[in-house]
Amino acid sequence: GISANLAGGTHHAYRNKGSGFCVFNDAAIAARVLLKDSRAKAGGIRKIGILDLDVHQGDGTAAILQHDSAVITVSVHGEKNYPFAKEVSDLDIALADGSTDSVYMQALEQALIYLSEQKIDFLIYLAGADPYYEDRLGRLQISQEGMALRDYKVLEFASTQGIAMAMAMAGGYANPIEKTVQIHAQTIGLALAHQHTIATSLLKR
């Protein structure tokens, strides 16, 4: 299954301070709460992956969870973009300014292969809209079609792995802002369509 938050993705917040427009780190908190609540349950969640595809590294998430082997942090982000002093995630893939769809998809494939190897039970996906080429702060050149393919690949990954996932909006700074809204709406629409396809296939069995 999939759940989605139309806000959230506050990945720059640290354990003891806010940063980068973020006050509390919702992904880190959610992961810790989910693991705690699942601990006593048979077949409960034992390992969570956080896939951060916002164009800015999730430095707060990486710092909070750096020594937590039950939460795997993966970030695909702009190498020269904010934050300029990066933290260390379990896997960091840094992209050069101006990276296009093909480079981005190669990085995403690397990230998904890594998560597959970690045998996670649940995925938290930060679906930032700021890799989009019209984003004011993104510095990448990812098309709207590329953004859709990104989301589709993540949805397919969770489905293939047989795990549930939670999505959050994360960043987006296009001008006009309607471009960012379109990207986020596209992400939610793809998730709904993906769930509908799965439900339909199950009903036909």
Cis peptide before 83 (omega within 30 of 0): yes
157-189: pLDDT as tens digits: 999 999 999 999 999 999 999 999 999 999 999
pLDDT of residue 42: 75
pLDDT of residue 43: 79
34-85: pLDDT as tens digits: 999 998 787 789 999 999 999 999 999 999 999 999 999 999 999 999 999 9
pLDDT of residue 203: 65
| Block residue for tokens 């019209």 | 134
Find the CATH number of the domain harbouring 23: 3.40.800.20
pLDDT of residue 44: 87
> CB neighbours of 178 closer than 8 A, spacing ≥ 6?
none
pLDDT of residue 39: 82
Residues 122, 105: contact at Cβ < 8 Å? Answer: no
pLDDT of residue 112: 99
Residues 24, 8: contact at Cβ < 8 Å? Answer: no
Find the domain containing 53 and state its range. Answer: 2-203
Integer Cα distance of 168 and 126 in angstroms: 5
Residues linked to residue 196 through DSSP beta bridges, in sequence order:
none
Integer Cα distance of 83 and 41 in angstroms: 38
When divided into structural domains, the chain yields a total of: 1
Integer Cα distance of 170 and 128 in angstroms: 5
Integer Cα distance of 195 and 193 in angstroms: 5
pLDDT of residue 197: 81
Residues 127, 168: contact at Cβ < 8 Å? Answer: yes
125-154: pLDDT as tens digits: 999 999 999 999 999 999 999 999 999 999
